[in-house]
Structure 1
């Protein structure tokens, strides 16, 4: 089917946007526009506006924006073509003609949808009939009310091989086999797939029944049985309860992913409507994309047993390559052996909400898993931890997110294995008026405006490339440096990565690695650095250059912390007029002055920035 721009423009023109939105959102007149509380996020003061003349809505609170079609896809959760069809029907417009194959496929699907709808009604009748007493007892035992059962369309399939087949005989066996209601065995008559089970309809985004899940009543295997894949149902692309959870998730600004139908139903019964469940498989890429269409950070809540935690880890690993644009996951760890249904029924909604509030981030889940994966006693085991973490990070396709994960993993590894790192490392500057090692007169060109961190950071990175044997000794300092420039941050992480794996790293190897990682542009820009650092000059003493490189790294690390403590000491003295506060302020001020004086004393009238070609 081809939808021309002209057709879509006409559809938008014929649709009253305020009437469409007003069906579910209360709007009031505000000049030439309509105004109301935004349906995409919780708010008390209206900031959501609908303009019929221009044909769009906009929220000044959360920036939700779109036209009638966007409303149907984002707020209702419909696929694009289904949104267009529904709007066209309401506007009295004929959809463009389909080609013959598409028309035949649509007609066949229509028959399958009708068969599934009738099957759902028949199962519900059986649940409420005489034969459904045992199934109703199961619901009562699980704490599922009659109202909740009606809301979710729950039913019962009698323990018979032919009752459903007989009830829907007007559709014919081929149609019932195609939609998964009957099982066809070669050489035998088709028979009912679901027998002696509590039936739970699985619906698409439009609320149409496309499959069933059946829970066995009493003993039997399998405990849960789903419909097979059919022209209507692809279990890897479907989420249970999506039709009801999508609008609820946009209002609550969250979506919960649980393991099974009963968890979804139990949460809905206590007021948590924004829960969905995969259908017997690990979360797929398609299901993750569906979730991210609703919220940026879905919350995964799998069972607290070993199988549930393994499922959560598989979901985390599958999500890593797809991260970006704020998209991530968070995880809830349930008490061992409990699922959300158990927790809500035993301890109430408050206990569950407390876990949601404390949900851990994706990066934390990966870190904890790898930390517990094996002992970390030997150097080889410690190196393996870093390698596994870097391997996870490198699967992330988004370069910016990948760099942030590498940075965080590097920092955590260093912090974990170096807990003895002294706090307030800048205190060494309080001990004497002069540094332990002499600083060369070519250390830095500095103006009366002080140190320009934007200029020094590229120089530091360039110096590390020239002296790669300094990367590992300075790693603890380097991971703490706040670097805003994305490419410089990526370069730092790559330098740390290669240096921690190769103790005999040389400059040509570093340059080749950076170029292979697409950072050749950074190398070109680093050649433009023209500061008078000894570690950028070819003729400088190597040992002096290394001392200067270490000093500059520590200066960038310590300087901001020293400034913060200096300000805090001054504020305490101004507030309290206490002599001890003044003494602390003076000590810190002298430390800062000594640090700056080291740079100033290093200059002489002959000190000039080195040329780019010389320094790099």
Structure 2
């Protein structure tokens, strides 16, 4: 079949867009257009416009935009070809001719669809007749109202091997077997598949019945019986209730995945219509793609028992290779022993909404599971955790998302197992007797000659070199300051290239230690500039020294990075305030300038207090041979 641009244009011209959209969205005349509340997002003031003359809709709130075909695919969730077929049928337009094989396939599917529709009507009649009393009692016991049962098309299959077969005999046994309605056993006549069960129709995205699920009325196994895979039904690519959930999901920007049919029905009855369910299997790749067509982050809401949590983890693992920027899963765990049906019947929709309001991100589910999976008391066990996390992150298909997972897992690992560090307090705020230097705390030292030389040489370049040396000494600190460091404009030339190389290497392997980092840098052509930075006698800061106290070095490096970031901002504001005061002197402008001068002086004092005394530097340097030699 070939859908030419001319055919599609004719289809659009024959379709009244406002009439099509008006079937599900209330529209009112607004000049030459129609206006209403957008069906793609929640709003109280109408910002959704439909223009019949131009054949498009547009929302000025969420930017949803399209024509009649786009409406059918985005709002109704239909595949493109199905959307075209439905619009063509409504417009009285013949579809382009199919090749012989496609025509035969379409004719066969037409017969199967008709057989399934007739079977659904038969089951519905049985539910509402004398034979359906037990099934109606089960629905009442489960709190399902008669109008809800009608909406979802519930039915009943009599406990008979041939009643449905006789009702649909005009279709012939081979077609009914192909539709999954009859079971064919070699050497015997086909017989009804569903017997003595509550029947739940399964529909495709267009709302056509393509399969059935049957729940046992009393005792027996299996509790649920689904249609087999057929030309109409692929259970791994079908979600129960997708046809009804899709419009609600797009409007609420939320779709909820639950375990079973009756969970979906209970939620819809409670006012949560955007729920779907897989069909007796763990979420498949095909089902995940269907969900992501609706929203970027579906909510997987599975039972709180072991089986439910195992299913959630399988879904998480299956999703990892398919993640993309902005596209993920989130998870809600129900109280143990309860499913959504139990919860809404016992505590109402508000209890379910409260859980759905705070879903757990995919990364949290994976981290918590791996953390609890094995003992972590020995170095070997902790190394096992690190390995498992690395393997999980490696399965992410998209490179940018994969690097984020690798970084996030490393951050969490280090936070979980790294020695606890005391929060840093700036030197000027530390009380006497509380400083963490060997030999006890001393009062703040006056600004030294060394510190004055640092300022005179230019704080930005000198401090940037010191910070870079500190990051090479302590690569683990890079991840903690990534957002800040990424926004810095480091020095031009070799220093800037070295900074980029250090950050890239640390992002690739956040378990990197200083020795390996220096070795890799040397192999990459940075031996000279890195060696110059690491010569201990050129940098008067603790974090640049190889044998410095680790806690002090890390705290000082935190402070240095804070100063490095704050100084350009203060300088810019001071320049602006000075310019404003020169243009027009006012008390307010003068006070602002004075305040910024004081703030700049405070930054310089903080930097000066980071500079080690000459005696400290000489004592430390005596133990170290320059690394560049």
TM bucket (normalised to shorter chain) is 0.7 to 0.9
Counterparts of 1:395 and 1:436, CA distance in 2: 54
Is 2:470–2:557's contact at 8 Å kept on the other side of the alignment? no
Range that drifts further, 371-380 or 232-241: 371-380
Counterparts of 2:426 and 2:407, CA distance in 1: 23
Give how far 1:328 is off: 1.4
Aligned-CA RMSD value: 3.8
1:432 alignment partner, one of 444, 449, 456: 444
1:558 alignment partner, one of 551, 558, 562: 562
Q: Deviations over 1:73-103 (max 9, x none)?
A: 0111111101111112222321111000000
Q: In the superposition, relative to structure 1, how do residues 298 and 266 fare at CA in structure 2: closer, same or farther (>3 Å)?
A: same
Structure 2 residue ranges without an equivalent (≥5)? 431-442, 489-496, 546-552, 571-595, 614-627
Counterparts of 1:78 and 1:225, CA distance in 2: 27
Q: In the superposition, relative to structure 1, how do residues 336 and 50 fare at CA in structure 2: closer, same or farther (>3 Å)?
A: same
Counterparts of 2:363 and 2:456, CA distance in 1: 39
Is 2:478–2:503's contact at 8 Å kept on the other side of the alignment? no
Structure 1 residue ranges without an equivalent (≥5)? 513-522, 528-533, 567-584, 603-614
Q: TM-score, normalised by structure 1?
A: 0.81
Is 2:464 aligned against 1:471? Answer: no
Is 1:499–1:505's contact at 8 Å kept on the other side of the alignment? no
Give how far 1:40 is off: 0.3
Give how far 1:132 is off: 1.1
Q: In the superposition, relative to structure 1, how do residues 129 and 142 fare at CA in structure 2: closer, same or farther (>3 Å)?
A: same
Is 2:619 aligned against 1:594? Answer: no
Counterparts of 1:151 and 1:445, CA distance in 2: 79
Equivalent positions of 1:54-203 (< 5 A) are 54-203=54-203
SS of the residue aligned with 1:320? helix
Q: Which structure's CA Rg is the greater one?
A: 2
- Residue of structure 1 equivalent to 2:593: none
Is 2:221 aligned against 1:218? Answer: no
Q: Give the paired residue count.
A: 555
Q: Deviations over 1:226-273 (max 9, x none)?
A: 101000000000000001000111122211100000100111111111
Give how far 1:285 is off: 1.2
Counterparts of 2:501 and 2:230, CA distance in 1: 46
Give how far 1:483 is off: 3.0
Q: Deviations over 1:390-449 (max 9, x none)?
A: 3222222223222322222222222222472222354489663479998898999757xx
Is 2:504 aligned against 1:500? Answer: no
- Residue of structure 1 equivalent to 2:333: 333
Equivalent positions of 1:530-569 (< 5 A) are 536=529, 538-539=531-532, 542-544=535-537, 547-548=543-544, 554-555=558-559, 557-559=561-563
- Residue of structure 1 equivalent to 2:576: none
Q: In the superposition, relative to structure 1, how do residues 105 and 290 fare at CA in structure 2: closer, same or farther (>3 Å)?
A: same
Give how far 1:198 is off: 0.7
Q: Deviations over 1:362-384 (max 9, x none)?
A: 11111111111112222222222
Counterparts of 1:318 and 1:284, CA distance in 2: 7
Q: TM-score, normalised by structure 2?
A: 0.79
- Residue of structure 1 equivalent to 2:281: 281
- Residue of structure 1 equivalent to 2:619: none
SS of the residue aligned with 1:215? strand
- Residue of structure 2 equivalent to 1:414: 414
Give how far 1:595 is off: 3.9
Counterparts of 1:33 and 1:451, CA distance in 2: 61
Counterparts of 1:284 and 1:64, CA distance in 2: 29
Counterparts of 1:69 and 1:437, CA distance in 2: 76
Q: Deviations over 1:13-49 (max 9, x none)?
A: 3323223222222223334433221110000111112
Is 1:471–1:496's contact at 8 Å kept on the other side of the alignment? no
Q: In the superposition, relative to structure 1, how do residues 160 and 69 fare at CA in structure 2: closer, same or farther (>3 Å)?
A: same
